[in-house]
Amino acid sequence: MFRKTFLPPVADLLAFEAAARHASISRAAQELHLTQSAVSRQIRQLESQLGVALFHRVRQRIVLTDSGRVYAADVRVALQQLSASTQKAMAFSPAEGLLNLAVLPTLGTRWLIPRLGAFKALHSKVTVNLSARTEPFDFAGTPFDAAIHYGAPTWPGAVCEFLMHEAVVPVASPAYRGAHRVRTPHDLTRVVLLQQSTRPTQWAEWFDQVGVPTNVALRGPRLEHFAMLTQAAVCGQGVALLPRFLVEPELAAGTLVQLHADAVTSPDAYFVVYPEARAQTPIVRAFCDWLMSVCLSA
C-alpha cells in the first residue's frame, strides 16, 4: 500500500526527470513548454519534500547528485509505467470489451493469429491484445484475462481447460536430408539434433518412443522458441523435432520435409488458463468456448 506522504506532485517529477535527462533546466523547460523559473521552482519543491539535493548547481550547469542519479532512474520507470497504464485505460471501452491474452510466442504467431479473424467475426466489438509468455505466472498484478499454456494442467489459482495434444515430427530441409542420407529413425543418431531449450529431454523421449537406443539425444545447439528451430531447420542447420501443426506451411511449401512417417504424441498438452475470479466473465467464457471449438474441429 502506498502512502500519500511519499507521492510528490507529478508535475514536479516531470520537471525533475526532464532536467535530469537533458542535464539542463532550459532544455527541460523547452520540452515541457514552461519557463525556466517554473521548472527550477518545481525541482526545489521536490528537493524540499525529499529532504535531499538532487542536483549540484555549477555556474550555468546542473549535475545529478548520487541521490539524484538513483532517483531519476526510478522516477523514469515509474512515469513510463504510469503512461503505459493510462494508455491501456484510455483504450478500454466497457461497451466493447478488451481481452488481454498471454500466449506462447510461436503458437500465437503461427496458429492463433491466423484464426483470430473468426473470433472477431463473432465478437466484432472485442479488442484482443496478445503478449508473449513462456512460463506460468501469477495472474494477480498482471493485466491478463487468460493464457494459453503448454505442459501439465497445473496453474495455482487458475482454471485449466484442455485444448489439444500435439503430434511432434522430425523435420529437416530436403537438402539436409539428402546430404546426410536420412531414411530411418536410426539415421538421426548421426546428424545435428536441434534442441529446444525449454524442452531439453524431448529428443530423448522421441527416440524412446520410436525404439531407437542412443546416447546422443541431448546433444546439439539449443534454441528457445519453435520459430527459431523452424528457421534453423529450413536453413539446413540440423534436424528439428516440432509440432506438425506449427510447420504445416513449410511442409506444404517443401522447405521442410518430415523424416519419419509416424508422429509421436507429446505427453503434455495445451490448455487455456484463466484466473478463478474470471471464470464467469462473459468475454473470457466466449473466448475459451470458441478456442476449444477450434481445437475440436482441427
- Model confidence band, residue 90 (pLDDT cutoffs 50, 70, 90): low
Which three cell numbers mark 177? 536430408
Q: Which of 251, 245, 264, 247 is nearest to 207 (CA)?
A: 264
DSSP run (H or E) holding 190: none
Q: What is the pLDDT of residues 96-136, one digit of tens each?
A: 588 999 999 999 999 999 999 999 999 988 999 999 998 88
DSSP secondary structure string for all residues of 19-33: HHHHT-HHHHHHHHT
Taking the C-alpha atoms of residue 27 and residue 16, their distance in angstroms, rounded to an integer, is: 12
- Residue 254 predicted with pLDDT over 80: yes
Mean pLDDT over residues 37-60, rounded? 91
- Provide the pLDDT confidence category of residue 88 given band limits of 50, 70 and 90: low
Domain 4-91 is found in CATH 1.10.10.10: yes
CATH superfamily of 167-265: Periplasmic binding protein-like II (3.40.190.10)
39 residue type, one letter = V
For the record, the C-alpha cell of 296 comes out as 475440436
CA distance 231 to 72: 42
The reported pLDDT for the residue numbered 96 is: 55
Work out the mean pLDDT of the chain and round it to a whole number: 90
What residue spans define the domains of the chain?
Answer: 4-91, 98-163+270-297, 167-265
Residues 5-16, mean pLDDT to the nearest whole number: 90
Contact present, 168 and 241 (Cβ < 8 Å): yes
Q: Could you tell me the pTM of the whole model?
A: 0.66
Tens-digit pLDDT profile for residues 205-232: 899 988 999 999 999 999 999 999 999 9
Give the integer Cα–Cα distance in Å for 113 and 258: 25
pLDDT of residue 91: 57
Which ranges of 35-157 would DSSP assign to H, the alpha helix?
A: 36-50, 66-91, 105-107, 113-122
DSSP structural state of residue 107: H
Q: Where in the chain does DSSP place strands (E)? A: 55-58, 61-64, 98-103, 127-132, 146-151, 158-164, 167-172, 193-196, 222-223, 239-243, 257-258, 264-265, 269-275
Q: Is 98-163+270-297 a CATH 3.30.1370.60 domain?
A: no
Same topology between domain 98-163+270-297 and domain 167-265: yes
For residue 129, what pLDDT is reported? 93
Number of Cβ within a 10 Å radius of residue 195: 22
Angle subtended at Cα 241 by Cα 239 and Cα 247, rounded to the nearest 5 degrees: 95
| pLDDT reported for residue 61 | 84
- The answer to whether residues 168 and 263 touch, using CB atoms and an 8 Å cutoff, is yes
Q: How many CB atoms lie within 10 A of CB 122?
A: 10
Query: What pLDDT shows up at residue 95?
Result: 43
pLDDT at 9 over 80: yes
The residue-averaged pLDDT of 68-94 equals 81
DSSP conformational letter for 111: I
Is residue 94 predicted with pLDDT exceeding 70? Answer: no
| Contact in structure between 108 and 225 (CB atoms under 8 Å) | no
Question: Is residue 60's pLDDT more than 80?
Answer: no
